[in-house]
Structure 1
Amino acid sequence: MSLVRIGAIATNGFREVIRDRILYLIGLFAIFMMICSRLLPEISAGTTNKILPDLGLATMTILAVIVTIFVGTGLINKEIEKKTVLTLIPKPVSRAEFIIGKHLGLAAVLAVLVASMMAIYLLILTVSGISYPIYSLLVAAFFLFLELCLIAAAGLMFGVFTSSILATLLSFAIYLIGHLSQDMVRLSNLTQNPSFEQLTNWLYLFLPNLSRLDLKNDAVYGVLPPADVLWSNALYGVVYTVLFLAIATIIFSRREF
Structure 2
Amino acid sequence: MRRITAIAANTFREAVRDRVLYNLVAFALLLTAAALLVVQISIGIERLVVINLGLTAVSLFGVVIAIFVGVGLVAKEIEKRTLYTVLSRPVRRWEFITGKFLGLAATLALNASVMVVGVFLALIYVGHAWQHSDVSVIAAWYFIVLELLIMTAVTLLFSSFSSPLLSAIFAFAVFVIGSMAEDLRGFARLSRGLSGWLATAAAYLVPNFSALNVIGQAAHGLPISRELILYNTAYSVAYILVALSAAVIVFERRSLK
Query: TM over 0.5: same fold?
Result: yes
- 2:198 is aligned to 199
> Residue 183 of structure 1 aligns with which residue?
183
Q: Give the CA deviation at 1:57.
A: 1.2
Following superposition, which runs of at least 4 residues in structure 1 exceed 6 angstroms of deviation? none
Q: How many residues end up aligned between the 2 structures?
A: 254
User: 1:137 and 1:32 mapped to 2: Cα distance?
Assistant: 19
Deviations 1:160-212, CA, capped at 9 Å, x for gaps? 1101010001111111111112212323444x452211101111222221122
The residue that corresponds to 1:117 in the other structure is: 115
Question: 1:157: which partner in 2?
Answer: 157
What CA deviation, in whole Å up to 9, does each residue of 1:5-28 have, x standing for no partner?
Answer: 111010001001110101111111
Cα drift, residue 215 of structure 1: 1.9
| Cα contact 1:10–1:104 (8 A) shared by 2 | yes
Q: Distance in 2 between matches of 1:46 and 1:230?
A: 29
Aligned to 1:231: 230
Q: Residue 233 of structure 1: CA displacement?
A: 1.3
Unaligned 5+ runs, structure 1:
none
Match of 2:36 in 1: 38
TM-fit CA distance, 1:155: 0.5
CA deviations on 1:111-144 (whole Å, 9 max, x unpaired) are 1101100111101111211246331111111111
Shift, 1:88, TM fit: 1.4
| Aligned match for 1:81, one of 69, 79, 84 | 79
Unaligned ranges ≥5, structure 2: none
Q: 1:11 aligns with which of 9, 12, 33?
A: 9
Alignment of 1:94-133 (within 5 A): 94-131=92-129, 133=133
Structure 2 contact 139–224 (Cα < 8 Å) conserved? no
Superposed CA offset, 1:37-72 (max 9, x none)? 112333346643422221111111111111111111
Q: What letter matches 2:11 in structure 1?
A: G
**Pair 1:138-2:138 in alignment:** yes
2:250 aligned residue:
251
Trace 1:207-222 onto structure 2 (pairs within 5 A): 207-222=206-221
Pair 1:59 & 2:36 matched: no
State TM-score, norm by structure 1: 0.93
Identity %: 36
Q: Secondary structure at the match of 1:12?
A: helix
Deviation, 1:30, is: 0.7
Distance in 2 between the 1:223 and 1:73 partners? 36
Q: Secondary structure at the match of 2:20?
A: coil
Tell me the SS of whatever aligns to 1:93.
coil
Structure 1's 232 and 47: CA in aligned 2 closer, same or farther, altered over 3 A?
Answer: closer
